[in-house]
Copies of this chain bind each other. A is one copy, B any other.
């Protein structure tokens, strides 16, 4: 049998993503990751170093690529609302990224890994936002993105909130989606309007 190092690495990273996503850094088990990947756990230490470094690799791989998977397209507040809707849908079908993001925030705090790549990705999103809402400040663009991420990513991580607050009817997900999209539209429209008439708040 031929050794396929890249395939083994990929299997481990995939299994680790699933395990860390479900249980976080402290709750994840190296043995479980190795078993799920069908690989001996010693390979983890050869390829990734240790549990923390494997978590790093998972975070960087999962969060960096997400930025490209759901792009900001079009112009005006509608474009930002549409982006929020697509991000919401994406997280609804695959909660990996939001869960990893919150695991990282809770377990790592401000100790963020893979900074250069992620800062570049965020800057790219900020620039897309500025392009969609001409005249908006860089800080307002960042704030709008934080708002979008907060709304879209919190939903799958706090699944109980829907039932607790809104009763959890059959079409809850759609209603929540509509609320997020509308909220983002309103916030983006206000920033766009302010950018055209800056005297109002100065």
Interface residues of A (CB under 8 A from B): 23-27, 99, 101-107, 109-110, 112, 118-119, 122, 125-126, 138-140, 142-147, 149-151, 153-155, 157-167, 169, 175-176, 179-180, 182-183, 186-187, 190
Contact = CB atoms under 8 A, between A and B. Distances in A.
A101 B159 CA distance: 11
Contacts of A23: 26, 107
Given A110-B163, A143-B175, 13 more contacts: A102-B105, A106-B157, A112-B160, A118-B164, A122-B164, A125-B165, A139-B166, A142-B165, A143-B165, A146-B161, A150-B151, A182-B187, A183-B183
B146 A162 contact: yes
Quickly give the copy total for this chain: 2
A163 B109 CA distance: 12
Given A138-B167, A150-B154, A151-B150, A179 B143 contact: yes
A142 B157 contact: no
A150 B84 CA distance: 14
24 contacts: A24-B26, A26-B26, A27-B107, A101-B158, A105-B158, A105-B161, A106-B157, A110-B163, A112-B160, A118-B164, A140-B179, A142-B165, A144-B179, A146-B161, A147-B183, A149-B158, A149-B161, A150-B151, A150-B155, A150-B158, A151-B151, A153-B154, A183-B187, A186-B187
B24 A160 contact: no
A106 B102 contact: yes
A122 B165 contact: yes
**A-B pairs, 10 with minimum CB distance:** A142-B166, A26-B27, A150-B154, A142-B165, A186-B186, A143-B179, A105-B158, A26-B26, A112-B160, A183-B187
| Residue of A143, A164, A165 with most chain B CB atoms under a 10 A cut-off | A165
A167 B139 contact: yes
A132 B103 CA distance: 35
B183 A165 contact: no
